[in-house]
Structure 1
Amino acid sequence: MSEQNLAVVHIIAGARPNFMKVAPLFHALKAENCCRPVLVHTGQHYDVNMSDAFFSDLQLPEPDHHLEVGSGTHAEQTGRVMIAYEKICFEQRPDWIVVVGDINSTVACALVAAKLCIPVAHLEAGLRSGDLTMPEEINRIVTDSIANLLWTPSPDGDAHLKAAGVDDSRIDRVGNIMLDAYEMLRGKIEAAATYEKLDLTPGQYGVVTLHRPSNVDDPAKLKTLVERISSAAQRCDLVFAAHPRTRQKLNDFDLMTSLSNAKGVHLVDPMGYVEFMGLVRKAKLVITDSGGIQEETTYLDIPCITVRDNTERPITITDGTNRLTAPDAVEAAVDQVLEGEWPKAKTIEMWDGKTAGRVVASLKSRLH
């Protein structure tokens, strides 16, 4: 089939976790002769060191369209994405659009497409935390309600959608696309051996990532976390990959000095995907408030201490290595891991690095 006759599928990416999810799908679609994938980068999160590294690691080409919307309030960001993306759709109307995850770009592009009667597929659909104070939860609910095709990663996703009255014909469980990215780059990740650069012994250190406003914007909460992490680091080296915003808050609240001087704490800048996963794969434990790492640690059977009140990925708790932990209980959780009192992961169906193939098959069956 000539390129002119191929269905045009826009794949939307706006932040670092999106890149990891779209890369395996982009490569799988490129290998098929059913459609032409067009990569749209909204620029919702843009940092040269972070974004460029991710595109390079994931072997993604320069985006076909870069909306360059930048940061702002939720309304500003969502509005700018909608205005910019609508122009793209008018100029080159796609046959389908694929949105991933739960960021503002996800709901913004889904709204544009839905109002133009362009079919929308949502990859990573059906996730719910039940916490409507999280902007991401609003984005998930709205996107799932207007998407034509909902690709879920696990049975709880199916259940959430059915409970909301979504017809079975719109739901297709495909598995966890994040793990495709890991398997796609497993060779590079293993070769990275990031722990060697930090003079760490495999299996004898932990990794820390914290960035959620609920943790880092509250001076008392962040102080508690710094104290617990600093204390736990005396028994297990902890590599703290500090997001720029987290680093700023640590400085604002006069916590940076005590953290950086704490014995066993290794404060480092954010890393590219390959480098970071090269560190995580040999970790004894992970302390985080991120979403995707909860899944990756379950896949790798690494204890995950999630500093949150809830999670939109409950299967990582019921079947995995993830546990929700309050800030003041982080040190006690680390001790539990060190004492061997932590659950092992079960095998989760379709978390096998082959999700992109199932997504392509699902999309092909709906292309006309």
Structure 2
Amino acid sequence: MKILTVVGARPQFIKAAAVSNIIRKEHKEILVHTGQHYDENMSKVFFDELKIPKPDYNLEVGSGNHGKQTGNMLIKLEEIYLEENPDLVLVYGDTNSTLAGALCASKLLIPVAHVEAGLRSFNMSMPEEQNRILTDHLSKLLFVPTKSALDNLKNEGIQKGVHNVGDVMFDATLNFKKLAEQKNSIIKELGVKEGQFILTTIHRAENTNDISRLKNIVEALNECGKDVVLPLHPRTKKYITDYGLNFNNNIKVIDPVGYLEMINLEMNSEKIVTDSGGVQKEAFFMSKPCITMRDETEWVETVENGWNRVVGTDKHKILDSIVNFYPEKKQENIFGDGNASEKILKLLNSCK
């Protein structure tokens, strides 16, 4: 079987690291990188560190408004699909690359498989929510990571081709955790102590593009009284400058880091404060309390299990959670057994 895989953003590179090498044991894979994330620290380093096969195509679409970015992807993907004539198109997650990959395949009557299907924040103002819903309704095979994702699809009338395989990011964490432990030099370079710093990421447009939300976040971090390590997303950096915001000396601002260094920072942190969906999960994998600076989350199990607190961008809630939030119960096994990639391969084989 010829499988064409579309990736374009950091979380998708991590998922592809777990799945592509498994797929290539039995099938021919064509890997297409849309170039949605193109900064070296957001793209190339992941392919190098995680030994992801070199992309067969790089569309180099870069950044831009949603319509322009997605439209450029569609135009370029259609040419590749017609040339390669794949048996199936595999997409991950909820980015513009996901939607473009699925929509182009659907228009050409090529079956679509969606890894990480069924997630819902129930906030349609999020581009990611629109992307994931549309992709799910276009897909023939839907690989869901959790029971709630399964329930979400059932509630939308999608039951055929749905399989709960577990979370491929959990696979990746288990595969690369030992390698990540060797990246401990970053802790020494930053001058922070293991288990005594807050790891923070900020990148969602709902936070970066709103001066009041971003200001609340920055002030909470400035006033928390703890060392904070902040790998700063390029878009967030731009808005910090545009809004004239400043960080106190307790905040160690660094460039975006590769996957292995990020895992090392996560496993050595005290708590994680983020607006990232993937980092929420990684916090859970590392048994770290997570404080989510969003108004809702698609990873509801982490909240229900008591290891994730959703606080929005209320300054006082962020501060209180940094100081006082500690889980009160043991984690449950909610993301599978670490063999999601093998299960996906078996299901793909059954469709030949």
What TM-score range do you get, normalising by the shorter chain?
over 0.9
Match of 1:333 among 311, 321, 327: 321
Q: For 2:41, what is the secondary structure of its paired residue? A: helix
Q: For 2:142, what is the secondary structure of its paired residue? A: strand
**Residues 16, 52 of structure 2: 8 Å contact kept:** no
Match of 2:227 among 237, 240, 247: 237
Instruction: Please report how far the alpha carbon of residue 253 of structure 1 lies from its aligned counterpart in structure 2 after TM superposition.
Output: 1.1
* Alignment match, 1:280: 266
State how many pairs are aligned: 349
**Residues 202, 236 of structure 2: 8 Å contact kept:** yes
TM-score (structure 2 length as normaliser): 0.96
Instruction: Please report how far the alpha carbon of residue 220 of structure 1 lies from its aligned counterpart in structure 2 after TM superposition.
Output: 1.9
State whether structure 2 residue 243 is matched by structure 1 residue 249: no
Instruction: Please report how far the alpha carbon of residue 342 of structure 1 lies from its aligned counterpart in structure 2 after TM superposition.
Output: 2.8
**Residues 270, 288 of structure 2: 8 Å contact kept:** yes
Q: Provide the C-alpha distance between the structure 2 equivalents of 1:343 and 1:241, rounded to a whole number of angstroms.
A: 29
Q: Provide the C-alpha distance between the structure 2 equivalents of 1:28 and 1:120, rounded to a whole number of angstroms.
A: 18
* Alignment match, 2:175: 184
Instruction: Please report how far the alpha carbon of residue 61 of structure 1 lies from its aligned counterpart in structure 2 after TM superposition.
Output: 2.3
* Alignment match, 1:166: 158
**Residues 301, 320 of structure 1: 8 Å contact kept:** no
**Residues 58, 181 of structure 1: 8 Å contact kept:** no
Instruction: Please report how far the alpha carbon of residue 225 of structure 1 lies from its aligned counterpart in structure 2 after TM superposition.
Output: 1.4
Q: Provide the C-alpha distance between the structure 2 equivalents of 1:118 and 1:286, rounded to a whole number of angstroms.
A: 40
Q: Provide the C-alpha distance between the structure 2 equivalents of 1:320 and 1:94, rounded to a whole number of angstroms.
A: 43
Tell me which amino acid in the other structure corresponds to 2:235.
Answer: R
Match of 1:309 among 291, 295, 306: 295
Q: Provide the C-alpha distance between the structure 2 equivalents of 1:41 and 1:343, rounded to a whole number of angstroms.
A: 42
Q: Deviations over 1:48-85 (max 9, x none)?
A: 23211010111012201111111111111111111100
Instruction: Please report how far the alpha carbon of residue 158 of structure 1 lies from its aligned counterpart in structure 2 after TM superposition.
Output: 0.5
Q: Provide the C-alpha distance between the structure 2 equivalents of 1:365 and 1:80, rounded to a whole number of angstroms.
A: 34
Match of 1:318 among 297, 304, 307: 304
Consecutive aligned runs of 4 or more in structure 1 exceeding 4 Å deviation: none
Shift in CA distance, 350/276, structure 1 to aligned 2, threshold 3 Å: closer
State whether structure 2 residue 29 is matched by structure 1 residue 14: no
Q: Provide the C-alpha distance between the structure 2 equivalents of 1:222 and 1:24, rounded to a whole number of angstroms.
A: 34
Tell me which amino acid in the other structure corresponds to 2:290.
Answer: C
Identity over aligned pairs, percent: 39
Q: For 1:178, what is the secondary structure of its paired residue? A: helix
Tell me which amino acid in the other structure corresponds to 2:50.
Answer: L
Q: Deviations over 1:224-248 (max 9, x none)?
A: 211111110x2x2110111111111
Instruction: Please report how far the alpha carbon of residue 183 of structure 1 lies from its aligned counterpart in structure 2 after TM superposition.
Output: 1.6
* Alignment match, 2:95: 103
Q: Provide the C-alpha distance between the structure 2 equivalents of 1:252 and 1:181, rounded to a whole number of angstroms.
A: 36
**Residues 107, 142 of structure 1: 8 Å contact kept:** yes
Instruction: Please report how far the alpha carbon of residue 101 of structure 1 lies from its aligned counterpart in structure 2 after TM superposition.
Output: 0.3
Instruction: Please report how far the alpha carbon of residue 348 of structure 1 lies from its aligned counterpart in structure 2 after TM superposition.
Output: 2.0
**Residues 298, 345 of structure 1: 8 Å contact kept:** no
Gaps (5+ residues) in structure 2? none
Match of 2:23 among 20, 25, 29: 29
Gaps (5+ residues) in structure 1? 1-6
Instruction: Please report how far the alpha carbon of residue 197 of structure 1 lies from its aligned counterpart in structure 2 after TM superposition.
Output: 2.2
